[in-house]
Amino acid sequence: MHQLKEDWITNGLIDFEYKKYTLLAYLKYVRENFGDRKLYPFLADLVFHYKNLLMIKDSKKFIYENFPRTISRIDFENLRITYKKILKDDDLMREIEDIVEYALEKVGLSLREGRELYDEIENAVEITPVGLSPLQNNEGYLFLSSAQKKDFTVYRYMISIFRNAEETYRGVSTEFIGDYQYSLVNTYEQVKTDLIKTYRQLPNPATYLLRSKIEVPLEETFLPLAKRILVRYVKAA
């Protein structure tokens, strides 16, 4: 079970034991990835499903509107299909409510585990500028190095700002540049200098080194976490 569908509760057989099996198989897969310190997309998925469960619990209207329908009549002349809801059984509603209550507890436990892992890894990551930082730091380079290793990965980043009437959001896009080996002649500052020579469209790039004290997977954890840390750092600066 690698993914839990958005409508997993109302899709298919509505049976407590069946849904329990489906959920536990999914959560087992999530916990296995947490055991490997892989946060994404698993933590975000848990947040989505937990919020969805709360919404279902608080709104029977939501259940009704998202429940499967059967075709009651087909009007071939006007090319129109009339549907009818099949959610009328009070026993079925109670079954769904039992599934939701059970799932809230189990997903909530896994979500807390994921957040504790997130906090542990985030606390192990330090961010420092490489060289002098320009006034404009919404575009530049990220150097990612974990567990005191000499090799590090370089990404070019760009922070985009989105605004609506109430809030301002920042999103980070990244482009892989390459893997490098740190040495006395290939320092972070020297790599930055080489990047400036190679990519002349960024003559004075903001460059940040993020070092993790513990070994973490790059794609599933370090890079997405680095983006969040970067946005917070840049915003504070």
- Judge contact between 181 and 150, C-beta under 8 A: yes
pLDDT by residue, tens only, the chain of 237 residues: 578 998 898 888 888 999 999 999 999 999 999 999 999 999 999 999 999 899 888 776 555 555 555 544 545 455 554 445 545 556 777 888 899 999 999 999 999 999 999 999 999 999 999 988 888 889 999 999 988 788 999 999 999 877 665 666 678 999 999 999 999 989 999 999 999 999 998 998 999 999 999 999 999 999 999 999 999 999 887
List Cβ neighbours of 119 (8 Å cut-off, separation of 6 or more): none
DSSP per-residue string spanning 179-191: EEE--SSS-HHHH
Q: Quote the CA–CA distance of 218 and 210 in Å, as a whole number.
A: 12
List Cβ neighbours of 110 (8 Å cut-off, separation of 6 or more): 27, 30, 31, 34, 46
Q: Quote the CA–CA distance of 25 and 2 in Å, as a whole number.
A: 9
Q: What is the pLDDT of residue 83?
A: 47
- Judge contact between 109 and 189, C-beta under 8 A: no
Q: Which of these, 147, 166, 152, 162, lies nearest to 208 by C-alpha position? A: 152
Model's pTM, two decimal places?
A: 0.81
- Judge contact between 228 and 159, C-beta under 8 A: no
Q: Report helix, strand or coil for 168.
A: strand
